[in-house]
Structure 1
Amino acid sequence: MRISILVLLAVVGATPGLAQTPIVDESEPNDSVRTADSVALGDQARGVVNPAGDLDTWFVDLTAGQFLSVDVDAAQVGSPLDATLELIAPDGTTSLAFNDDFDGFDSRISYRVPQSGRYYVVIRAFGATGGPGLTYAINFDKVTCPVVGTEQEPNDTPGTAAPVAIGDSGSGEVCPQDDNPAGDVDYWAITARAGTTIELDVDAAALGLFVDPVIALYASDGTTQLAFNDDADGADSRFQYSIITTGTYYATVADAAGSGNP
């Protein structure tokens, strides 16, 4: 019995901002999580990396599953700043993502947060330089993955898996530009009886889509991997698995490069 999962790749970007973007100016000192300046999604933070070795810290409160976009405008608008960005977890110490020179000398981080809480963004000058002319703007927004096919984001865990029946097809997208090392992973929930042999077949590259999909099957506990495949059909993936115990199983689809936009 076959389950076919069609993986689409949509053009994804930050949610368009309002015509009047709220501006938040930095207030020194803001060089630690304890003194971080506050921003909200949709705001533009502005500041200057001065003196040499200065770093500016901003915090934003997020809800689990939100896809944060943090984008620096500096060099592209004439500032001599070569900015680096770092995203810090709510514990105030764990580094979740780092970027330097995404767009020329400007940096950007996109990250789907796994839990609700206060996240911190740190901007520095490369090489620990600084000066009164090293101005910047940081755009805080969220990446919106359009609703495509039968999946619904977020579906990055067994608890949020999209249901698909044996014999049916599911379709969705691998959302691009995620700096989480795991990239976007889509979960599908399958109910199967003991003795059933299921086939998972992903169509993406064969349709001309720019994604190299990998698929896996997990047991009812959501953590024990039962099967995995990459590139059974060219860049597309496929495998068969014989079910031993009746229950709910979880198929995952991700991009081999850990990003929806290799």
Structure 2
Amino acid sequence: MARIALITGGVTGIGAATAKLLRKSGYTVVANYFGNDDKAQSFAQETGIPVYSWTVADFAASQAGVAKVVADVGPIDILVNNAGITRDGTLHKMTEEQWRSVIDVDLGGCFNMCRAVIEGMRERRFGRIVNISSVNGLSGQFGQTNYAAAKAGVLGFTKALALEGAARNITVNAIAPGYTDTAMVAAVPEQAMVGVLASVPVGRLGTPEEIARGVLFLVEDEAGFVTGATLSINGGKYMA
């Protein structure tokens, strides 16, 4: 029986590319989304991947959403925490709402979703969790104290949960993408994008499909010796 994978933020960008690749590779895939019903329904019709709507920032909604997926499809073997937002601004101008919304979705969402699936994974003694961080969680970024803090927090969260899950054959890893050709990056002003591209040694944006291939590697049964790791896919922009 095919393993069941749930991808949050799974109908656009990196999430959509991941959902499509995992489905093509033989996994049973479910995509979570929030806020764009038309896009989600179009994605579902195009791919045949079922979609479920809830905000990962809400603990109760995440619990209910996961319970619905389990009832409809089956126990979740693989979780990809991809949902994320930006609310950029320098700290001296940043509002509390800008800070809290990013922390709640990008970092809180990892807790909410992992908490909803971890007990089942422990009982079945198998799990693959991949948390999507960011190169800016490693290097920092001007105007993104909220986003960089959340994505750096994801890395610490990943390592701690990896220690907790290891004895039960649950691996927990992170991917830190560089600047990738998604709607989030498309919102960067054209003049600023010139500087972004100049800072990437390979001289281009990544593609969502390139990030998805990293996810596919980490969720495979054969990747059981990889846990607590951060896979940087950033075109050489940041090397640690």
TM-score under structure 1 normalisation? 0.25
Please state which structure has a larger fraction of its residues in strand: 1
Q: Based on CA coordinates, which of the two structures has the bigger radius of gyration? A: 1
